[in-house]
Amino acid sequence: MDHASKTNALNLDNFWMPFTANRQFKATPRLLAQADGMYYTDVDGNKVLDGTAGLWCCNAGHGRKKIAQAVERQLTTMDFAPTFQMGHPIAFDFATKLAEHAPGGAAAKLDRVFFTGSGSESVDTALKIAIAYQRSIGQGTRTRFIGREKGYHGVGFGGISVGGLVNNRRVFPQIPADHMRHTLDIERNAFSKGLPAHGIELADDLERLVGLHGAETIAAVIVEPMSGSAGVILPPKGYLEKLRATATKHGILLIFDEVITGFGRLGMPFGTDYFGVVPDLVTTAKGITNGTIPMGAVFASRTIYDGLMAGPENAIELFHGYTYSGHPVACAAGLATMEIYEEEGLLTRAAGLAGEWEEALHSLKGLPHVIDIRNLGLVGAVELASREGAVGARAYDVFVDCFQKGLLVRVTGDTIALSPPLIIEKEQIGTIVSMLGDALKRAA
Ligand SMILES: Cc1ncc(COP(=O)(O)O)c(C=O)c1O
């Protein structure tokens, strides 16, 4: 069957696609059928080099047999069991394994793990834990959150409230939250390699918002240590340290949303390790199961966990949880994933490739429309000048062009983002960059 007939034979009407221009997509669909290693194969049998680890999640590449076997084993041993007032060993085993790699290492004591089903659930869980903890220590007036412009924290009502992307917010009501300014400053920091030099003063926004609202109303501040979804926005040097200090000074909890930066993306197990700044809560998902089975986890400090383990022993300490918190099949996938990460050194492999990646990406400087290039670990972004009156159109065209030539990239506005699987070989870095470069040369 050729592409047209295969696509035509498919009924595209019923699946309401997420974060997609449904009518545009269904008129000219892009359909993936298989995945192995660094490559997808589309429905026509064309290979597509995965420049985005799926959606920032397949850090160990695709088609990992070890994960498939673990999932099959678990499904046939015990497909599901509840974790409300019941337990099963694999959920405890997986939490123990995650604790071995917990953000910040043993000293940070961020090793109490609450399981969720996604990044959005991890975020809303962390926000609720923050409020509950504050209340447990007599700080019940702290119910407000501070997020940041351009932050992405998923699509729950908590996540969109602390998030800073207007399209995700404008239609929906929100919980009390205010926002610091974002740290993207192309004028001062264009073509920085790694962390930008300018912008540490933006962390003073937290102090300003404390002045505006009163510290006693603020439960937590949440940021992505490196913003991924809004177009790869890096923290200026010293910025996260300053946030930590201000939060501590005012009794505000610091939450790092590591749904993207977790599990090796920056060349360290977590952004917490990479930046050497220890938050109170860390949200994760995506790479936790290599993207195979939906799952997320919140790492909480022992102080927070112990603080909430109060009251009578027969009382439920936190009225929160999901049917799928600690799902046995997801835990099996997660354990197998962590074994692969350990065996192949993937939680730190990006560190050895980051220099090569940076050089390759920055070789695109000077190509048509390129106004900035940003990189950190195995993350990259190429920012294009927008077409007059059509923000995002140019990058979208580049994305479609790349896909047709066999490269998957991701676009947000006019930013092209790259985050390949951490198994990438050096030659494939060259291939990604040269394919993207060719597409940029063709771009109108
Ligand atoms: C930083 C961050 N937080 C939360 C989320 C939401 O995760 P999910 O789509 O699994 O709900 C994402 C997804 O990209 C993310 O990047």
Q: Which residue's alpha carbon is nearest to atom 7 within ligand 1?
A: 119
Output the 3-class SS for 187-254: HHHCCCCCCCCCCHHHHHHHHHHHHHHCHHHEEEEEECCCECCCCCECCCCCHHHHHHHHHHHCCCEE
Confidence at residue 436, expressed as pLDDT on a 0 to 100 scale: 98
Asked whether the predicted pLDDT for residue 1 surpasses 60, the reply is no
Ranges of H-type helices in 250-345: 271-275, 302-308, 328-343
Residue 1, in any domain of the structure:
no
Mutate to test the pocket of ligand 1, among 229, 258, 261, 298 (most ligand atoms within 8 A of CB): 229
What is the distance in A from the centroid of ligand 1 to the CA of 419?
A: 14
Residues 105 and 36 in one domain: no
Q: Specify whether 377 is located in the same domain as 297.
A: no
Instruction: Report if residue 26 sits inside a domain.
Output: no
Does a structural domain hold residue 217? yes
Asked if 331 and 364 sit in the same domain, the reply is no
Tokens for 55, please give them: 């959606």
Mutate to test the pocket of ligand 1, among 58, 152, 324 (most ligand atoms within 8 A of CB): 152
Q: Does residue 23 lie in a domain region?
A: no
Any domain includes 12: no
- End-of-domain residue from the set 302, 325, 343: 343
> Does residue 167 form part of some domain?
yes
* Cβ proximity of 181 and 148 under 8 Å: yes
- Domain final residue pick, 311, 343, 375: 343
User: What is the predicted pLDDT for the residue at 4?
Assistant: 59
Residue 2: what pLDDT?
55
Mean pLDDT over 50-76 rounds to: 98
Q: In the block, which residue shows the tokens 């123990």? A: 96
Report the separation in Å between the CA atom of 54 and the middle of ligand 1, taken as the mean of its atom positions: 13
Which residues have CB under 6 Å of ligand 1? 118-120, 123, 152-154, 224, 228-229, 257, 259-260, 285
Say how many Å lie between the first and final Cα of the chain, rounded. 33
Reported as a single tens digit per residue, the pLDDT across 361-407 is 999 999 999 999 999 999 999 999 999 999 999 999 999 999 999 99
- Do 427 and 324 lie in one domain? The reply is no
**Do 330 and 379 fall into the same domain?**
no
Give phi and psi for 383, each to the nearest 5. -100, 130
Q: What percent of the chain has pLDDT over 90?
A: 98
| pLDDT exceeds 90 at position 443 | yes
Say yes or no: 220 and 368 in one domain. no
Residue 3 lies in a domain: no
Helix (H) or strand (E) holding 381: strand 379-384
Distance of CA 406 to the CA centre of its chain: 24
pTM for the full model? 0.98
The residue-averaged pLDDT of 137-158 equals: 98
Domain boundaries, position 360: 31-60+348-442
Distance in Å, CA 260 to ligand 1 centroid: 7
Ligand 1 centroid, distance to 316 Cα (angstroms): 28
Radius of gyration of the chain (CA): 22
CA 245 from centre of chain: 24
Averaged pLDDT, 324-341: 99
**Residue 5 pLDDT exceeds 90:** no
pLDDT of residue 439: 98
In a shared domain, residues 87 and 52: no
Residue 385: give its domain's CATH number: 3.90.1150.10
Between CA 362 and CA 370, with CA 366 as vertex, the angle to 5 degrees is 80
How many residues belong to the chain?
444
Please indicate, yes or no, whether residues 85 and 104 belong to a single structural domain of this protein. Answer: yes
370, β-bridge pairs: 384
Mark whether 319 and 369 lie in a shared domain.
Answer: no
Select from 343, 375, 408 the last residue of a domain: 343
Same domain, residue pair 352 and 425: yes
What CATH number does the domain containing 88 carry?
3.40.640.10
| Domains in the chain, number | 2
pLDDT tens track for 411-440: 999 999 999 999 999 999 999 999 999 999
Residue 328, H or E segment = helix 328-343
Q: How far is the CA of 109 from the centre of ligand 1 (A)?
A: 24
